[in-house]
Amino acid sequence: MEDKELSDLTMSRVECPKCGAIWINGEHRWSGTGNKGSELDLAGLVCNKHGNFQCINPMKGQEGGDTWAKRMEDLSNGPDWPKDK
């Protein structure tokens, strides 16, 4: 049997035990879409209010990013496109 050259490709998956947020290969991914997420947005939306010692988000406690208050303000202001007169 010949020696095969093997790839060093690896994959890691880490899940926050508190909220279920997922990191694949060290990159946060939104659970609903699988799209690349922002750890700062996750902190503003979830971790800073509901996280505890179990939270694994490295941005927990950081200010900035998206928040529910910001989302409500955006909804109250309506769409950004010009309105018909």
Q: In terms of residue numbers, what domain contains 47?
A: 13-77
Q: How confident is the model at residue 6 (pLDDT cuts 50, 70, 90)?
A: confident
* Whether residue 18 has pLDDT greater than 60: yes
Domain for residue 29, yes or no? yes
Domain for residue 7, yes or no? no
Q: Provide the phi-psi class of 61: left if phi over 0, else alpha when psi is between -120 and 50, else beta.
A: left
How do residues 27-36 score in pLDDT, each as one tens digit?
A: 999 888 889 9
Domain for residue 58, yes or no? yes
Is the CB of residue 43 less than 8 Å from the CB of residue 57?
A: yes
Domain for residue 8, yes or no? no
The number of domains in the chain is 1
Counting beta carbons within 10 angstroms of the beta carbon of residue 56, is it exposed (0 to 12), middle (13 to 18) or buried (19 or more)?
A: middle
Domain for residue 85, yes or no? no
Identify the pLDDT of residue 58: 96
pTM of the complete model: 0.76
How do residues 38-85 score in pLDDT, each as one tens digit?
A: 999 999 999 999 999 999 999 999 998 999 998 888 888 876 666 554
**Residue found under tokens 């309506």:** 78
